[in-house]
Amino acid sequence: MPVIRSSDAVTHEIHGARFVSYATPLSGSKELCAWRGEVPPGMKGPAHTVSKEEILHVLIGSLRVTLDGDTTDISAGDTLIINAGSTLALENPTDQTALTWVTTSVGLTADLADGTRITPPWAN
C-alpha cells in the first residue's frame, strides 16, 4: 500500500518558495502529483505558463495571484483552478507564510517569460 509518510516527503526549493512533494511517480502515483507549497512573506514568484491543469488550494494564509493578466487575492479555504496554457504568478504580500496544497497531472512543465522551461521534480 503506497503511503507517503510526512517524514518521507521530498523538499525542493526554487524562486524563494518550498515545495514538499508527496505524490509522484517515484512515490507510486501513476497519473497525479501532489505537493504542499510554502510561500514565505514577501515572496514574489515569476510568471510562468503551465502545460497541465493545476488545482491550488490555500490551507493557511493569503496569496495574491495573477492568472492570465487578472489579479486577485485568495485566502485559506479558497481554491484556484489553473487551466493548461494559463500564465500564473504568485506573491505573498503578507507577513505570514502561506501554505497551499497543489495537484496536477504527471509531466507538468512551466515556461518562464525568458523562454526557460522548468520541469519541476515535484510534478514528474
**pLDDT for residue 79:** 98
86-109 pLDDT, tens digit per residue, is 999 999 999 999 999 999 999 999
Q: What is the pLDDT of residues 1-16, one digit of tens each?
A: 789 999 999 999 999 9
CA distance 4 to 18: 18
Domain 9-123 superfamily per CATH: Jelly Rolls (2.60.120.10)
> Distance of CA 100 to CAs 1, 37, 77, 92, 112, Å?
26, 5, 10, 12, 21
The answer to whether residues 54 and 87 touch, using CB atoms and an 8 Å cutoff, is: no
Span 42-66, pLDDT tens digits: 999 999 999 999 999 999 999 999 9
pLDDT computed for residue 70 by the predictor: 98
Report, as an integer, the average pLDDT of 33-40: 98
Instruction: In whole angstroms, give the CA distance from residue 118 to residue 50.
Output: 10
